[in-house]
Amino acid sequence: MTELVNSLLYLDGVTVSFDGFRALNNLSMVVARGEMRAIIGPNGAGKTTMMDVITGKTRPDKGDVLFDGSHDLTKLDEAAIAELGIGRKFQRPTVFDSHTVLDNILLALKGPRGVFASLFARLTGDERDRIDTVLATIRLTDRRHELAGRLSHGQKQWLEIGMLLAQDPALLLVDEPAAGMTDAETAETAALLRRIAETHSVVVVEHDMTFVRDLGVRVTVLHEGSVLAEGSLDQVSADDRVIEVYLGR
């Protein structure tokens, strides 16, 4: 129970199946407050499904998902979970293509999310400052009025991270942030995530071992829907079972 109290995110015995296929199989995991965690695993290990469960997109068949020790995420929908303070970045960058960079950040900015609040919302000076800060962080200040759809792939990834920052969540779920990036970009992204992790809890799903190494954090290996190993990258890469899973027999 101490785990539960100290943890920000607590998964216990989570099972999800689709038409007989078990995407998650009795998965248990704890992410502590302020921790950055990397999750690796081969295709079909259940990484994305796990994200879906945490963010309310998929309901587990079994198991508990608790946030901040008291909120049962299995009872809430996406919007409510987002308001609790869980932000998610997708594997494929999804930004609002027909909005400007600025509007993308504006939409993500922490604040009231109701229909009428949005209808009558006016941009305050404080909000403008926060947007500027975020834009500076993700180095898109000079492209703020451009349509997000025109950004390069890497810039979209960064914009999406920027939206996460604007949302100011307690926990960030980041799905393959380095996919499709150049080496330089990858390194910068890793640096950015490390900076973010100073003030937030972060869960990163990643394939790229270099990137995970750059992050230098605790690693969880998923396989066939459950945790195979946990520890530092060096520890897990020495694990025979992990080697077997990754390299095959």
- Give the helix, strand, coil percentages of the chain, each rounded to 5: 45, 25, 30
CA distances from 99 to 143, 170, 198, 217 (A): 12, 26, 30, 35
Cβ-proximal residues to 96 (8 Å cutoff; 6+ apart), any chain: 103, 104, 107, 148
Q: Tell me the C-alpha distance between 3 and 21, whole Å.
A: 30
Binding mask 66-105 for other proteins (x = CB under 8 A): -----------xxxx-xx---xx-xxx-xxxxxx---x--
> CB of residue 176 vs other proteins: minimum separation in angstroms?
9
Task: Give the position of tokens 């979209």.
Answer: 156
Does residue 143 interact with other proteins by CB under 8 A? no
Does residue 107 interact with other proteins by CB under 8 A? yes
Instruction: Tell me which of 25, 167, 189, 237 binds other proteins, using CB under 8 A.
Output: 167
Listed in order, strand segments (DSSP E) in the chain are 7-18, 21-32, 36-40, 62-67, 71-72, 86-89, 171-175, 201-205, 218-223, 226-231
Instruction: Tell me which of 2, 5, 70, 115 binds other proteins, using CB under 8 A.
Output: 115
- The residue (of 148 and 227) whose beta carbon lies closer to other proteins is 148
Alpha helices in 38-110 (DSSP H): 47-55, 78-84, 101-108
- The residue (of 145 and 249) whose beta carbon lies closer to other proteins is 145
Cβ-proximal residues to 136 (8 Å cutoff; 6+ apart), any chain: none
Instruction: Tell me which of 59, 128, 139, 195 binds other proteins, using CB under 8 A.
Output: 59
- The residue (of 163 and 204) whose beta carbon lies closer to other proteins is 163
Binding mask 172-191 for other proteins (x = CB under 8 A): ---x----------------
Binding site for other proteins (CB under 8 A): 16, 18-19, 21, 23, 48-49, 52, 55, 57-59, 61, 77-80, 82-83, 87-88, 90-92, 94-99, 103, 106-108, 113-115, 118-121, 147-150, 163, 167, 175
